[in-house]
A and B are shown apart, each in its own frame.
Chain A
Amino acid sequence: MHIKVKERSSNLDDEGFDFKKLILSKINRKLTLLFIIVSLIAPILGIYYFYIITSSTLSKALLNDLDVLFQTAAIAIIVLIAVDAGIIGYLVSRSITKPIKQLYMAAKEVEKGNYDIRVNINTNDEIAELGNALNRTTAALGKMQNEKREIDRAKTEFLSITSHELRTPMTPMKAQLQMLEEGYFGKLNKDQKESLSIIIRNADRLDKIVVDFLEISRIEAARLKFEFTRIDLRTTLKDTVKFMEGFAKEKNIELILKSDKLPIIEADPDRISQVLRNLISNAIKFSNDTSKIEIYAKAKDDHILFSVKDYGSGMTNDDQIRVFEPFYQVDNSLRRKYGGTGLGLTICRGIVEAQKGKIWVDSQLGAGSTFYFTVPLVPVRKIEPIKVLFSQRSIIENKIQDEFKAVLGPLGVGEFNELKNQNSLNKDDLFGYIDSLTKNFILDNDYGLYFKNKIGEIFGEKRGSINNEKDILIQNNRKKVIG
C-alpha cells in the first residue's frame, strides 16, 4: 500500500503551521545535542590523557614549544568532531522525524476531509506500520464518503424525478374535474357538487405537496434559483402584507406592519416574499379570531432582520426545535382544518439558509410565537446544498453536546446525557441549568454568560445577544472550571 504521498507544503502556511519546527523539531534538537555531547566525551578525554602523558615524558622546553600546537590541534579536533557529530545527529534524527512529519501532514489532510491522502513510509519499523494503518483508514473513509455522496445524489434525483412524475397526471385530472364542476357535462345536484369539491380540494392539496417536494429537491441539490435585484425591501413587505390581508380578513385578524428605514440591497424580493407569506399564513393559522399579527423589519449589522409575531397558541420547547422539520405538525387538527403541506417552514429554512441567513422561533405556549429570519446585506450567488430533510432536533442536540464538552470538559457528556434524559434540551431549561452552575460556583459569571451565549446561538439567537465581549474571557477562565 505504498502510494506516493501527496505533500501539500503550501497548505502548511494556511494552517498556521510552523515549518521551522519540522526542520528542527524538538526531537531533532535533542538528538543532535545528544550526538554532539556523546561524541565529544571520548576526544576530550583522549586529548586530556595525551596531554598528561606527554607533559610527564617530554622535556619542559620542548613542551613549551609544542603547547600552542597542542592547544590548537585539540581545539580543532574538538570543533571538527562536534560539527561532524552535529551533522550525523541531525541526519539520524531527520530519518526519524521525516516519517512522523509525513504522518502529521496526512492526519491534517484527513482532518480537513481529504481522504485521498496516502503516506509512503519505507522504514520497516513500527512507524511504517502506523503509516500503513493510516493508509487503510483513509482508504476506508474515502470509500464511505463516496458512498455517502452517491446516496445523497440518488436521494435528491429520486425526489426530483418522482415529483415531476407525480405532477404530470395532475394536469388532465384537474382539467376533467374542473369541467365536471363547471357543468360542461350536465348540471350537478348538491351532493355531487359537495363530493366533487372535496375531490378538487384534495387534488389541489396533493399538487401543493408535490410542488413543495420539488422545491425541497431544489434546495437539497443547490438548484434553488435566486434572481437578485437592487431593492428597498419595504416595498416587498408592503406588497406581501397587502396580499396576505385577504386571508387575515377571514378571521378578522389585523396585520400590522412596522419597518425601519431599510438600506437598498441586492436581494430576491420573490423569495423573501415567499418566506414572509409562509410565516404570515402560519401566524394566521395559529391565531384566534380578531387577533393581530405584527410584521417587523430592521437593519442590523450585516443583515436585515424580519420578524412575524402572533398572539396565538404558541408552542412547547420541543415544538420550537422541530418546527422546521418536514411534515412536523404542532397540532394535526389544524392541518386538517387549514390545509398546508407540512413543508412550508422547511422550505423557508432552505431559502433563508441558502442565502446564509438564519431562521428561528421564539415562543411561549399560550402567549404566541415570533418567527425571525435574517437576510444578509450581500447576496449569496453561489448556492450550496442544504440538508433540510435531516432531523433538526438531532442537529441541535449534537451542537449542544459539543458545547457541553467544550465548556465542561469530559464532565459535560454525562451532564448532557442527564439533561437529555430529563427532556431538558431546550433553551429555558438549559439556561436554568447554567444559572445553577454559576450559583454553585462551578462556573464564574462571565463563563456562565459565555455558555448561555453559545447555547442561545444554537437556538438561533444572534451571536452575543445575551452578553457581548465575553468571548475573549473564555481562554482565561477555562481553567477556573471545576471538573
Chain B
Amino acid sequence: MKTVLVVDDDEDIRESVGMILKINGYRVITAVDADDCLDKLSLETPDLILLDIMMPGRPVSDIIKQVTNIKIVFMSIVRENDAKNKGLCDQSNVVDFLQKPFDLNDLVARVEMLLNEDH
C-alpha cells in the first residue's frame, strides 16, 4: 500500500484529502506544518507528499531543501506562477501543482498517475 503524506495547516483540508485518498486505497499520514512534516519524515518515508506552500511557522522551502528523493505535489490557494516566481518549483522532485480549491477526481487521478509512473 502506497503512503501519502498530506501537509496542510488547515485541519479540514487534511481530513478531506486524507478521506478521499483512503477511500481510493492509499495509506495517509498528515502533518500540520513544516516542523511536523520533517518530524514525520524522520520516522518514515512516504511515496508522495502533498504540500501546502503557505503555512505558518517554518517556510516550505526548508522542507524542499531537505527532501530531494520524494515526489512533492504543491497544493495552494496562490497561483502556480506565483509559486514559480518564488523559486519553489525549480527542484526536479516537485512534480505537480494543485490549485485550491481542487477537484477531488483530479486530485485522485494525479496522485494515481504519479505513483504508478515508477512501475
Interface on A for B, CB 8 Å cutoff?
A: 164, 167-176, 178-179, 182, 184, 207, 225, 227
Residue contact B12 to A164, C-beta cutoff 8 Å: no
Other-chain residue from A171, A176, A184 in contact with B100 (beta carbon distance below 8 A): A171
Listed in ascending order, the chain B residues whose CB lies under 8 Å from chain A are 10, 12-13, 15-17, 19-20, 23, 77, 81, 100-105
Report how far A175 CA is from B81 CA in the complex, Å. Answer: 24
Q: Give the distance to chain B from A321, nearest Cβ to Cβ, in Å.
A: 33
Question: Known contacts A168-B10, A175-B13; is A184 also within 8 Å of B77 by CB?
Answer: no
A175 engages B10 (CB within 8 Å): no
Q: Are A175 and B77 in contact (CB under 8 A)?
A: no
Complex Cα spacing A173 to B10, Å = 12
Q: When the two chains form their complex, are residues B10 and A184 in contact, meaning their CB atoms are under 8 A apart?
A: no
Assess whether B101 is in contact with A171, with CB atoms less than 8 Å apart: yes
CB closest residue in chain B, given A175? B16
CB proximity of A141 to chain B, nearest CB, Å: 38
Nearest chain-A residue to B103 (Cβ)?
A178
Q: Are A167 and B100 in contact (CB under 8 A)?
A: yes
A175 to B105 Cα, complex, angstroms? 10
Give chain B residues whose Cβ lies under 8 Å from the Cβ of A179: 16, 19-20, 23, 104
In the complex, chain B residues whose CB is within 8 Å of the CB of A174:
101
Closest A-chain residue to B85, C-beta based?
Answer: A225
Q: Nearest B residue to A170 by beta-carbon distance?
A: B101
- Note all chain A residues with C-beta closer than 8 A to B100: 167-168, 170-171
Other than A171-B10, A173-B12, A227-B81, give 8 A-B pairs with Cβ distance below 8 A: A171-B100, A171-B102, A172-B16, A175-B101, A178-B104, A179-B20, A184-B19, A184-B23
Interfacial chain B residues near A172, Cβ < 8 Å: 10, 12-13, 15-16
Please list 8 pairs of residues, one from A and one from B, whose beta carbons are closer than 8 Å in the complex, sorted by A's number: A170-B100, A171-B102, A172-B16, A173-B101, A175-B13, A176-B16, A184-B19, A225-B81
Distance between B110 CB and nearest chain A CB, rounded to angstroms: 14
Closest Cβ–Cβ distance, residue B15 to chain A (whole Å)? 7
Q: How far is the CB of A165 from chain B (nearest CB, A)?
A: 10
Q: Tell me which of A167, A171, A176, A178 has the highest count of chain B C-beta atoms within 10 A of its own C-beta.
A: A171
